[in-house]
Structure 1
Amino acid sequence: MMRKWYTTGLMLFILQGLLWSQEDVNISRGSFKTGIDTGFKEAWESVKTGDRNFKGGKGTYDLARDHYLYALQYNSDHAALNYKLGICYLYTDNKYEAINYLLKAYIADPEVSGDIHLMLGTAYQLVLEFDKAIEHFKLHSQVLDPKEKEAYTPVLTKRMAECQMGRELSKSPQRVIIRNLGESINSKYDDYNPIFAFGDTSLLFTSRRPFEKAKRNKLDNKFNEDIYMSSQKEGLFKEAVRLPNPFNSDNNDAVVGVTTDGSSFILYQGHIEGGDIQITTYQHEKRKWSRPKPVTGKLTSKDGETSASFSSDGKEIFYVSSNKDLSLGGKDILYSKMDPKGKWGKPVNLGSIINTPYDEEGVFITPDGSYLYFASRGHNTMGGFDIFRSERMDGGAWSAPVNLGYPINTPDDEVFYITDKFGKTGYYSCIREGGFGAMDISKVVYLGSEKELVFRTSDQLLAGPGIGKTGFFIQAVPMVLDDRLLLTGHVLDTIGGVEPIVAKMAFFDPATGNREALVISDTQGEFTVRLPEPKAYAVEINATGYLYFLDIIDFTSANGDEKLVRNFFLKKVEVGTKVVLDNIYFETGKAILRPESHNALDQVFRFLENNPAMKLEISGHTDNTGSLRINQRLSKDRAKAVVDYLVNLGISQEMLISQGYADTQPVAPNNTVEGREKNRRVEFKVLSK
């Protein structure tokens, strides 16, 4: 009979125990039905199908999410449904949506789940909202019973320390460009562990994408791992293909190491004693690869090994092992040297300078043997696995590892970092919004100080054409030329135009709403950003103490050779300031917000997030058509609908009051069509700040 360890995949081995296991919150039929029969049957079927996919594991959370979203149209306020939607988003492709739905669940029922604060803390940490994450981790600690507190306190303490480190690292971002390798390599499934071979002309990697006979792993319901290869020419990758035997089998297979000459590959095979490394060597006389076999010597153990890296002369090997006899805790990096007879010596642990009580993973020794890169859940990580670098010093000792910093590292997982032979370009596996939906392989280009392109902020990464989603990645292009538009300028106070402002700036495609760039001006108000192509952009700017800014800038006639300069001016918030909320639409004669209003209201939400001490009056206004009584009620109900929307997103009810003024405060004459249109509005007034 096949034992359970036959199903173990590399990433399951690596990430086991890393992700929080959430509670299985029940959605009962009685609580879900609102009393309206129309649409209930279809919605309830979607709930049941969603629950089956949810229980199936993270591999089918995307399917569960789609069914829950359909059911939400029937009962949008159901706490458990919103909670499960939040969890689906948390472990798929949109952490911001996770926050929205988890907050809705909490507002509807603060006791919807015992881990609601834990999940909110996790989501806030992943989107760099570290203060809010710490707040929710503390709240979770307060609801634990003594036995739970004893078990959870060390974990929560570490998570809060990660948030503090994330706050520090994100203040001093590294000068890099991170590029998603594109659809030739990546898919909507997990793609990871890049390995260059054959003179760097080919990229091998591991993927959990389906193929004709693909099987799902019973532990997480994702597809089993397989090895793929793509050849590259002049910096462009061809579409990756799945390799045949002996690289792939019917079980989990991953490539984790290669000799410098490309004659031997180290493979991770999930069906070998719970997951272990094997080696395949090219047999020139037979013109084929050998059947995978254990690495010679005493390198492997019954506890399992994962990644490995050879020195350039092939006489040193660094690898990750769970060997309990050698481990300092979790998975550690071990080292072995080949003796004159070609046999590997007894492995030794690299020691506490490198290894921690937590897991280390994805080890890589640079071609010149000077630097060791690896991923760790210990040291000063921002969360999850971060990439670290250690330098080999005189005498062979290793220096204290250095975190590669933000944005290379984030609170999510970054693993399997390698460099080119010059050490100027890195490749690694990471999870980013704007990617293809899961873990992707990306390229890190380090910018020298002599380069003109300078990113001074923590959110400088760009989204480019071809990714298909809003986010942080750039579609791969030849590195010989960067023809994107370079925009620079300052964000300043409108009074005098000299006071610099630290502000978050987002650039959107006005046609699709996709965010194409994100940057934060520095303490001098200066920003520099690359825009994907000459066209019009909607720019949204938010800064604490200032009204948000939204405008269209047109760069259609610009070209990549010129440096564009544009300054933006923000108006300081004062008590009594009134702002008309444009693009707020309701169903005719009703107080029901239409979906196209959400973008404008989301801007108000972000404005209030940046100004948590502010209190606003949201007011509804009408023209003088119809009865005063009806207009009074309609204007008040519409203002309340806006307040409810913002509260559902997470804004405190105490920050908002709603008021209806009917036609008593016109801003234009009511005797023209244009005047009446201006008077039909929703606006906010600053009551305190």
Structure 2
Amino acid sequence: MPDVPSMPDFIALRKVMQDPVIDVTMGVADESDAHGAKLGMGARTAPSWRLRSRHMTNKTTWWSVMLLLSVGWGTVHAQPGARLHSDNKKAVKAYRKAVEAAREAMAPGADKLALQQKVEDGLLKAVALDPGFSEAERLLAGMRFEQGAYQNALALYERYLTRDSQDWIRDHFAWARAARYALDPAAMEQAMKAMLAIPGVPEGPDTARIGSVLADAAFMAEALAHPVNAVPTPLPPAISTLQDEYFPSLWLAGEGLIFTRRVEDVRLRHGQEDLYISTRNRGMWSEAEPLRGLNTGNNEGAASLSGDGNTLCYTMCRDADRPGEGDHRGSCDLYLSRRDANGRWQRPVNLGALNTGGWESQPCLSPDGRMLFFTRGRGRPGQRQHDLYMAQTGVDGRFTEARPLPDGINTAGQEMRPFLHPDGRHLFFASNGHPGMGGLDLFVCELGPDGAWGEPVNLGYPLNTPEDESGMVVASDGRTGYFSRSVDGQLDLHVFEVPESAQADPTAALEGRIAALDGAGLPQGVVRLLDGVTGEAFAVGRTGADGQYHIPIPMDRDFVLLAEAPGHLLESVRVEAGEWTGRSRRDFQLSPLEENAEVVLRNVFFETGSAALSAASEPELREVALWLASNPRVRLEVGGHTDDVGLAKDNEELSRQRAEAVLGFLERHGAVEGQLTAVGYGQSRPAVPGQTEEARRQNRRTSLRVLGMD
């Protein structure tokens, strides 16, 4: 058989066939490693290099061809003097012409499209003249795969690997990859079993990866047999453009969208990533605009908004073309910015200890802003292991050291883009380490009553495909999802209905205003939403310059809503499950911290005829205790009041005991000793006149009255 002609050195590109993890990061490529969301197609290891496009578009066709040609020499047949699998001189001549055309295309100014056609024509002629010419079939199979002709590629892989399996052992992974994209799980299994039948393979280093592909084949067979009812639809041209759009983040009950756009820039090798914003009015999305105040010459993206929309956590990446800019600790760092009283984003703050010398990105703030989920990449660029991490705020409000999520979520593969739904219980993320359709699939896991995360569940086909799906967020209704999908090398945002089995609990959108008694808005007000049973903080909202706030609220449980502002008494309200749905409003007017100002603690309850506090009182009282601890100079009276049922003397004694019970609780949980005085007023100071049941209900109360300021 003829000798192989010498070829250029393409060592850096050989991974195409040896390790078919062929993809790009969502955003810039690995040199600046921006928000890293697009990872290996159909493989379990991180890609060692990036390719701009999956299919052979005019812009990327030639590089796909060159990559495929280069790996034709990445085996024993690349060595000088090695021999081709053909004795047909005409076939070998056609093959050599294809190789020569590839060489010519490397020259500056070459007509790459015309030369690409020569490469393809040469390979087709070689295979036609000698159907057993494995080298030609091998390269043609790769070309057909890059062109999206998966069935054709699958047939070619099967043909030459059935004949010459031992010459290209690891090409069986490329065979399985073509089968994956052809949605043929049986062929995936066939490829792996053929590989296992080769002597030495079962004892070799590829067994774990073979097992992973077989697990994917089993999952795909089941998923294709039982597809979910989910049809993703691209967002309109106001958002989806010829540029890449990805990493959506929602606020205003899904009426506002912040996302990342990668804009081509001839001055930069990998384009420019920036944050963009769009709002929806009467079902129509506005033309997306750059987010003012935060975009810089570096790459910004992968943002997450707090429940009230006033805190933004996002990623800023040091661009390889501008290595001196920014205060980065690693290639990509997490930053936090808050709106000022005028609604402008303040100067972002690097999140310090959460950022390492490596890669942190893709943050997600919990509704209360006290938890932060994010992706951390460890290792060298292009070979990073990506896992999900979580950090919580300490007593000083700063995020503490981050910890990885459990092994049931993180795997030896890649886990990325966590999203915690406003219900606080459903965590969505992307992974290629759990069995799936291939590439990054979308998963959900649920937080159990014991505080442990459940087993991740794949969202199924056709939502997940052999391509990458990532960056999923779910609106407050629990069923409307958004994510980014790669189609023919183009990343766009899509909307879909979340499969019923993966839907989160619906949450309502609460908005309102915190104002002083004279009606002036309080710009530094805070609204806290507490679980009515456990007292756990569910969401925190902060007011803007006009005193307005926005937060998500649960619809399936009782909760306590507290409003406070500097220099004012706090106010509270209790809401029963289902009382507020959709978009609701609750305004507060707060009394100033001045002598005789008074407020009723509306969520303090006692057992009938007793001074024993009920468990339902604890959520509000714990928050009041924290408020007292932060206002130690304020002296207050805890007043106990009853209705007019029973003897006045008995009611006065009961009210005194109840006031003392509240005082004792507050002092045990943060109030300064001597800050409070307990007084029982009995029925002597009714809040409203009358003897109706409603009047009596309002008169049974516990109040706080300002006595003075030390």
TM-score (norm 1): 0.52
Match of 2:216 in 1: 162
* CA positional deviation for 1:234: 4.0
Select the residue among 317, 320, 324 that pairs with 1:269: 317
Which residue identity does 1:176 align to in structure 2? A
Give yes or no for contact 2:276–2:290 (8 Å, CA) kept in 1: yes
Partner of 1:56: none
1:109-258 aligned at under 5 Å gives the runs 113-143=168-198, 145=200, 149-181=203-235, 183-186=237-240, 191-197=245-251, 200-208=254-262, 210-216=264-270, 225-237=273-285, 240=288, 246-250=294-298, 252-258=299-305
Which of residues 463, 486, 489 in structure 2 aligns to 1:437?
489
Task: Give 3-state SS (helix, strand or coil) of 1:151's partner.
Answer: coil
**Deviations 1:346-404 (Å, cap 9, x if unpaired)?**
33333234333433211001112121111223344343332221222324332222222
- Letter of the aligned partner of 2:314 in structure 1? I
Separation in 1 of the partners of 2:211 and 2:317?
Answer: 35
Partner of 1:259: 306
Q: Is the 8 A contact 1:332 1:359 kept in 2?
A: yes
The answer to whether the 8 Å contact 1:305/1:321 transfers is yes
Query: Aligned to 1:372, what secondary structure does the other structure show?
Result: strand
Cα deviation for residue 266 of structure 1 reads 0.9
CA positional deviation for 1:24 = 1.1
Tell me whether 1:8 sits opposite 2:64 in the alignment.
Answer: no
CA distance in 1, matches of 2:230, 2:499: 6
* Deviation readout 1:80-116 (Å, 9 max, x if unpaired): 4553353355457554454355457658976774433
User: Structure 1 residues 301, 36: closer, same or farther in 2, change over 3 A?
Assistant: closer
Is 1:391 paired with 2:416? no
Q: Distance in 2 between matches of 1:123 and 1:322?
A: 29
- Cα gap change, 1:346 to 1:321, in 2 (>3 Å): same
1:418, distance to aligned residue in structure 2 (A): 0.8
Q: Note if contact 1:5-1:273 (Cα within 8 Å) is conserved in structure 2.
A: no
Structure 1 residues 231 and 50: CA distance shift in structure 2, 3 A? farther
Name the % identity.
21
Could you tell me how far apart the structure 1 residues matched to 2:120 and 2:285 are?
A: 36
Note closer, same or farther for the CA distance 1:12–1:177 as it changes in structure 2 (3 Å cut).
Answer: closer
Note closer, same or farther for the CA distance 1:13–1:383 as it changes in structure 2 (3 Å cut). Answer: closer
* Match among 291, 294, 298 for residue 350 of structure 2: 294
Change (3 A) 1:247 1:278: farther
AA of the residue aligned to 1:266: Y
Match of 1:25 in 2: 72
Q: Secondary structure at the match of 2:484?
A: strand
Contact persistence 1:177–1:446 (CA under 8 A) = no
Contact 2:441 2:468 in 1 (8 A): yes
The offset of 1:7, in angstroms, is: 2.3
Q: Distance in 2 between matches of 1:122 and 1:303?
A: 31
Question: CA offsets per residue over residues 588-616 of structure 1, 9 Å max, x none?
Answer: xxxxxxxxxxxxxxxxxxxxxxxxxxxxx
AA at the equivalent of 1:174: V
Superposed displacement of residue 117, structure 1 = 2.2
CA contact (8 A) 1:25 1:84 kept: yes
Matched position secondary structure for 2:373: strand
Are residues 269 and 335 of structure 1, via their aligned partners in 2, closer, same or farther at CA, if it must alter by over 3 Å?
Answer: same
d(CA) in 1 for partners of 2:411 and 2:332?
Answer: 22
SS at match of 2:142: helix
Q: Which stretches in structure 2 are left out of the alignment for 5+ residues? A: 1-28, 50-67, 320-327, 502-710
Query: Per the alignment, in what secondary structure is the counterpart of residue 451 of structure 2?
Result: coil
- Note closer, same or farther for the CA distance 1:62–1:170 as it changes in structure 2 (3 Å cut): farther
Matches of 1:101 and 1:205 in 2, distance apart? 41
Matches of 1:246 and 1:63, distance apart in 2: 44
Q: Does 1:281 align with 2:337?
A: yes
Change (3 A) 1:277 1:64: farther
Deviations 1:562-601 (A, max 9, x none): xxxxxxxxxxxxxxxxxxxxxxxxxxxxxxxxxxxxxxxx
Contact 2:334 2:361 in 1 (8 A): no
| Residue pair 1:316, 1:336 contacting (<8 A) in 2 also | yes
What TM-score does the superposition give when structure 2 sets the normalisation length? 0.50
In the alignment, does 2:438 pair up with 1:358? no
Structure 2 counterpart of 1:634:
none
Tell me the secondary structure at the aligned position of residue 120 of structure 1.
helix
Aligned 8 A contact 1:253 1:267 in 2: yes
Whether 1:86 aligns to 2:159 is no
Q: Is the 8 A contact 1:14 1:361 kept in 2?
A: no
Report the CA distance between 1:133 and its aligned residue: 0.7
Question: Residue 212 of structure 2: SS of its match in structure 1?
Answer: helix
Q: Which residue of 2 aligns with 1:400?
A: 455
